[in-house]
Amino acid sequence: MGNIIRGESTRDKVTTDSSLKGLEDDMVVVLQDYPAPEISEPIYRMGEKLRLIAQEAYWWRVRSVQTQSENYIPNSHVAKVYHGWLFEGVERTKAEELLSLPVNRVGSFLVRESARERGLYSLSVKHRNVKHYRISRLDNSWYYISPRLTFQCLEDMINHYCDFADGLCCALTSPCLSGTTPPSDAAPGAPPVVMRRNFDWKKIDRRQLVSTDSCSDNTVSYGVRNSIATYLSLSENQNPAKMRAESRKKKSKSVYTIPENGLGNIDYDDF
């Protein structure tokens, strides 16, 4: 039985301690842009994670996990989330919209509790498309998707399917929207590469090719000039005709030794 939920970069143990549920009661996810784009620029976007600060009837005061800005949002536009994957009151179509967001990968999932009847759950998993599985419950309150596999609680079920597909479209990888992270200051990128176009070697002065002065105003890069200068320096110290002759002599030479007993392998040099 697995006991680990795999995240993007870390693995968090799923707890079955109900006392910890209260610590997650203040996490909600935006179900639709608010305000609607046709009214004004949205303050909160679908899929954004918010921290619930206060519940005031129809209006909830929330704080964005990404921007830390606070504002009010209608409670019909958000859903409470427990354990990072248990979404309260999310319908099938809305689950598909959330899992289809680019931040989710194959195997991303959520468990949604029915908005019509408490205690009824379904598992939604992103694959080639979003797959849905009804979670049934036995008389002894154990849960199952397949009758041959039963679990005492939803946490045990999720942990198991994180390790094994066992009839699902794929093993579960990470909770829906778990890839959303607060923005960080972007590190300055590398300067753009500027390519010289219509570069004509015939128009380059030979003095520019052999110069190794890195501070001179030269159209040929210092690395190229340094390589050319090194090559010319080596060539001047060698007689080309002599080098070719030595090369031919070396290739045609074979050296071997014969053991004293006349037997054994022959060792060839430059074979």
- How does pLDDT run across 134-187, given as a tens digit for each residue? 999 999 999 999 999 999 999 999 999 999 999 999 999 999 998 754 444 434
pLDDT of residue 229: 65
Q: Are residues 120 and 241 in the same domain?
A: no
pLDDT of residue 86: 95
Domain final position from 163, 190, 214 = 163
Residue 89 placed within a domain: yes
Per-residue pLDDT, averaged over 38-45, amounts to: 91
Residue 169 placed within a domain: no
Residue 95 placed within a domain: yes
Per the structure, the complete domain to which residue 84 belongs is given by: 4-163
pLDDT of residue 245: 59
- Do 103 and 47 touch, CB atoms closer than 8 A? yes
Residue 187 placed within a domain: no
User: What is the SS3 assignment for the chain?
Assistant: CCCEEECCCCEEECCCCHHHHHHHCCEEEECCCECCCCCCCCCECCCCEEEEEEEECCEEEEEECCCCCEEEEEHHHEEEEECCCEEECCCHHHHHHHHCCCCCCCCCEEEEECCCCCCCEEEEEECCCEEEEEEEECCCCCEECCCCCEECCHHHHHHHHHHCCCCCCCCCCCECCCCCCCCCCCCCCCCCCCCCCCCCHHHCCHHHHHCCCCCCCCCCCHHHHHHHHHHHHHHHCCCHHHHHHHHHHHHHCCCCCCCCCCCCCCCCCCC
Q: Are residues 88 and 156 in the same domain?
A: yes
The whole-model pTM stands at 0.58
pLDDT of residue 265: 41
Q: Are residues 116 and 231 in the same domain?
A: no
Q: Are residues 17 and 134 in the same domain?
A: yes
The CATH code of the domain that includes 18 is 3.30.505.10
pLDDT tens per residue across span 237-269: 555 565 565 555 554 444 444 444 444 443 333
Per-residue pLDDT, averaged over 218-232, amounts to: 62
Work out whether the CA dihedral 151, 156, 160, 161 comes out positive or negative: positive
Domain final position from 138, 163, 188 = 163
Q: Is the pLDDT of residue 117 over 70?
A: yes
pLDDT of residue 250: 52
Q: Are residues 27 and 152 in the same domain?
A: yes
Q: Are residues 146 and 223 in the same domain?
A: no
Q: Are residues 157 and 219 in the same domain?
A: no
Q: Are residues 139 and 242 in the same domain?
A: no
Q: Are residues 147 and 19 in the same domain?
A: yes
Q: Count of CB atoms within 10 A of residue 61's CB?
A: 15
pLDDT of residue 226: 64
Q: Are residues 207 and 151 in the same domain?
A: no
Residue 236 placed within a domain: yes
Q: Are residues 33 and 85 in the same domain?
A: yes
How many domains in the chain? 2
In this prediction, residue 67 has a pLDDT band, given cuts at 50, 70 and 90, of confident
Q: Is the pLDDT of residue 112 over 70?
A: yes
Per-residue pLDDT, averaged over 94-105, amounts to: 96
Q: One-letter amino acid identity for 145? A: I
pLDDT of residue 204: 62
pLDDT of residue 94: 96
Residue 189 placed within a domain: no
